[in-house]
Structures are given as C-alpha cells and as structure tokens.
Amino acid sequence: PMYSGGVLIDSEEQTNDYAEYAIILQGPLIMEHDFTLETVKLYKKLFRNIFLVVSTWEGEDGDTLRRIHAEGVDVVLNQKPAVAGPRNINLQIVSAKGGIQRAINAGATYVLKTRTDVRMYSPNTLIFLLWLLKQFPLHTKNFAQKGRLISTHGSISKWYFFPDMMVFGYAEDVRKYFDASFVASDTGTLSLNGTEVPFVPEQYFFTEFLKKIGSALACTDEDSRKAQARHALIIDPESLDWYWYKYDRHHEYWHITYRRRKRILGFSEWLILYSAYNTTR
C-alpha cells in the first residue's frame, strides 16, 4: 500500500510496547506521495509507544515538517556539511548521528537507523530484530561492543562490507558505527592495511567501527568473513517486508539477478559464516 491507511493490522499485533526502541529516518524528505510522512504514520500504527525521529536538513519543506511533528515525531534539522564527501557519506554521518543522539538523549535502549526513502511493513520487525540480537550474542567480551549490528543486503566479495542503509542494535553500538570522521570529496580509494580498494561507504563505516571496538584488521578474505560473523548479523530484507522507494517501486526484488551472479550476503550465507568463524578466539 502506498499510504498508511491501506495497511490493516489486528489488535493482537499492537500488544507489544516499544518504549525502549527508537527508529531514525535520516535523509531528505521524500515528498512524492508523502512517502516519508506516510512512513512515520505507518510506524506509529505498527509500533506502540515507539520513539520516532526524522533527522533531515534545514530548509526542507516546512509544511511537511509540521505534519510530521504533528504525528508525535521528533524532527532534527541538521546543517549540511560544506563537503558532501564521496557518495554523500558526510551527509549521512551528520544526519545519522543527529538522529541517533536525539534517541539516546530520550533514553532509547535499541535503535533502528533507516532512511527517509525506506519503509518496513512487517509489524514483527522490531521484535524479530530484538530476538536476533538476543539469540546471537557476542561470543567474546574482548571488544568494546555490546551486541551485534544487524542489517540487510550484505556482500561477500568486498572486504569488511556491512550495509549502512538499515542498522539495528544497542543504541551505543549504532552511534559508534556512524561516529566516523568526514571524508574528502576527492577520496577515491580506501586503504585497508596498505591495500587500496575503491572507496565504499559501507566498508569505511565498518572498518572504522572495528578499529573503535579494538578489532585488528588483517585485510584478508578470511579475516573479513570472521569480522562479519563475529560482530554483525545479516538478514534478508524480505523478513522485514522491506520496501526501498528508490528501486523497489520498479522491481521489488531488484537485488536478485540470474543473468549476472552477484555474491550477495543474506541470512543463509551469514549463518554459514557464523557457523564457520564465530569462535571465542
């Protein structure tokens, strides 16, 4: 359904209390079909007592911002950095951190960072993510990390790749993931222990996170897979009834192709890595 009014839920699906959770929608407002506004309306319907934050930019449409705020949603207006960085990474750093900090200040224990152009329709989204966090705890206390980071749309072929579109976990872990330094716009590569690879934000965020928690980077295929197995958890977007406005309006399962085999990391692939590499060593 395009609008929240088209999503019907049973009263039994509203029994959970989500006062400990916060959902952050970061990025520019999606005005077409009131997509961002209708998304927060949907989340208010699905998740009782959820703390919602739209972390966007100064100068966004005032009427839409007022309508979002009228839904009981916190709005954070950030000033855009002077340098956007490659693939607008600095903009994501600012808007993600601004929203996450607002949630932490409000006392959120768990944070789900998403984007203004993403929507999750499943009423079980937050309970499902929480149980994954509980059922797959960290197997070692040697790192400055409370629990796993959970996301979708992973990659096996890129070293230390962890998606940044949707990140769920303990609030302090999610904040630590996005608490990265700005990147110069002309940065074309990322140095991984002396090896230069094309700059990819998802690798930059995750490698910086691993450094912060005290995990050394050997920069090998095996070490990359160990890091994904030990510190992260990858799920299939279908588990959340995921919809991405940028692509899914044309092709819902756009990430699946049979003409060119992509090495996508979904839950089944992650579970294999977890079983092989997730040791206490």
| All residues at 6 or more sequence positions from 131 whose CB lies less than 8 Å from its CB, including other chains | none
Contact in structure between 165 and 118 (CB atoms under 8 Å): yes
The DSSP code sequence of 216-243 is: ----SHHHHHHHHHHHEEEE-GGGGTEE
What pLDDT sits at residue 281? 47
Tokens 């609030």 found at: 171
What pLDDT sits at residue 260? 53
What pLDDT sits at residue 8? 87
What pLDDT sits at residue 247? 59
Q: What is the CA radius of gyration of the chain?
A: 18
What pLDDT sits at residue 277? 86
What is the residue type of 48?
A: R
What pLDDT sits at residue 153? 79
What is the distance between the alpha carbons of residues 166 and 121, in angstroms, rounded to a whole number? 14
What pLDDT sits at residue 156? 77
Contact in structure between 78 and 61 (CB atoms under 8 Å): no
Mean pLDDT for back-to-back runs of 10 residues, the chain (281 residues): 89 81 98 97 95 98 98 98 96 98 98 97 95 93 95 85 95 98 95 90 97 94 93 93 74 57 76 81 47
Q: What is the chain's percent helix, strand, coil content, to nearest 5?
A: 40, 20, 40
